[in-house]
Amino acid sequence: MSEVDIPPQTASGKVCLHFAMSVDGYVAGPEHSMDFLSRATHRPGLVQEYVESTGAVLAGRRGFDSAIGESRPYGGAWQGPIFVLTHHPEDARPAPHITFLSCPVEEAVRTGLEAAQGKNLEVFSPTIGRQLLELGLVDEIDLHIAPVLLGDGIRLYDAPGSRPLHLQRVGTDPRRCASLRYHPSRS
């Protein structure tokens, strides 16, 4: 059985929502915990693709305060500008190479894309991502599905009362569902 994958990520000045996600749609556990990824693996070379194609990161304040802090994306392999969008920059905990922004999301994207210098702006906040999707400012959504059901946490797309947002899959058939098959772990 062969693994079918999407083409490698390329650096081309895109705005990308990029998340590892549980099968039930959570990108973080309660309190922005990322512990659910401790048993997950990914294909060889995946992290390096993102290290090479990412020029800047845009994150949200709650995720920064809870999960990011002084850690660096991709296990510390990526170095570059991180922008944290917040309503209250005055009480933000300073951290090296972190810029706190208090502006409309459109302006935050412009700032991030400028800093990315032709590479991609990775958005690590589902709340900011939802706003950018509503404004038509997202070029791609990259999801890595971890084989776990969380049942609680931070959802990828939390927009009660909104209309469905249809996506086009990258590949030969843009309407094809992604088919996954798992067995419950007995351990």
Question: Is the full-model pTM beyond 0.75?
Answer: yes
Sheet holding 54-60: strands in order across? Answer: 98-101, 82-85, 54-60, 120-123, 15-22, 140-146
- The pLDDT value given to residue 81: 95
What DSSP letter does each residue of 64-112 carry, written as one string? IIIIITT--TGGGT--S-EEEE-S-GGG----TTEEEE-S-HHHHHHHH
Mean pLDDT throughout 125-144?
A: 94
CA distances from residue 169 to 7, 65, 139, 144, 147 in whole angstroms, order as listed: 12, 33, 12, 14, 20
- Residue 39 CA to its chain's centroid (Å): 19
- The 10s digit of each residue's pLDDT in 63-97 is 887 766 567 888 889 999 999 999 998 888 888 88
Mean pLDDT of the chain: 89
SS in 3 state form for 128-166?
HHHHHHHHCCCCEEEEEEECCCCCCCEECCCCCCCCCCC
Beta carbons of 52 and 176 less than 8 angstroms apart:
no
Q: What is the mean pLDDT of residues 1-18?
A: 76
